[in-house]
Amino acid sequence: MTFSEQFVAFKTIVIKEYLRFIRIWVQTLIPPVITVALYFVIFGNLIGSQIGNIGEFTYMEFIVPGLVLMALISNSYANVVSSFYGSKFQRNIEEMLISPLPNYLILIGFISGGMARGIIVGIAVLTVSLFFSDLNIYNYPVTIAVFLLTSILFSLAGIINAIYANSFDDITIIPTFVLTPLTYLGGIFYSIKMLPEFWQQASLFNPVLYMINAFRYGLLGVSDIPLLHAFSLIIAFIVILFLYALHLLNTGKGLKH
Partner 1 sequence: MKALSITNLHKTYPNGFTALKGVNLDVEEGDFFALLGANGAGKSTTIGIISSLVNKTTGDVSVFGYDLDTQVSQVKSCIGLVPQEFNFNVFEPLDEILINQAGYYGIPRHIAIQRAEKYLKQLQLWDKRREMARELSGGMKRRLMIARALVHQPKLLILDEPTAGVDIEIRRSMWEFLKQINKQGVTIILTTHYLEEAESLCNRIAIIDQGITKEQTDMKTLLSSLNSETFVLDLNTHNNQLPDSVEGCQLNQIDTKTIEVNIAKQHSLNDLFKTLSDNGIDVMSMRNKTNRLEQLFLNVLDEKLPASHNE
Q: Which residues contact 131 (CB under 8 A, 6 or more apart)?
A: 40
The nearer residue to partner 1, 52 or 256, going by C-beta atoms, is: 256
The nearer residue to partner 1, 90 or 136, going by C-beta atoms, is: 90
State the nearest-atom distance from the C-beta of 4 to partner 1, in Å: 7
The nearer residue to partner 1, 53 or 250, going by C-beta atoms, is: 250
Question: Burial, 88: exposed, middle or buried (Cβ in 10 Å; 0-12, 13-18, 19+)?
Answer: middle
- DSSP designation for 41: I
The nearer residue to partner 1, 105 or 241, going by C-beta atoms, is: 105
73 within 8 A of 183, measured Cβ to Cβ: yes
Q: Which residues contact 147 (CB under 8 A, 6 or more apart)?
A: 69, 72, 119, 122, 215, 218
State the nearest-atom distance from the C-beta of 223 to partner 1, in Å: 42
State the nearest-atom distance from the C-beta of 116 to partner 1, in Å: 16
The nearer residue to partner 1, 12 or 200, going by C-beta atoms, is: 12
State the nearest-atom distance from the C-beta of 34 to partner 1, in Å: 24
Apex CA 117: angle with CA 103 and CA 219, to 5°?
Answer: 115
155 within 8 A of 76, measured Cβ to Cβ: yes
State the nearest-atom distance from the C-beta of 45 to partner 1, in Å: 39
Q: Which residues contact 1 (CB under 8 A, 6 or more apart)?
A: 9, 100, 101, 102
Q: Report the interface residues with partner 1, using CB under 8 A.
A: 1-2, 4-6, 8-9, 11-13, 16, 19, 86-87, 90-92, 94-102, 252, 256-257
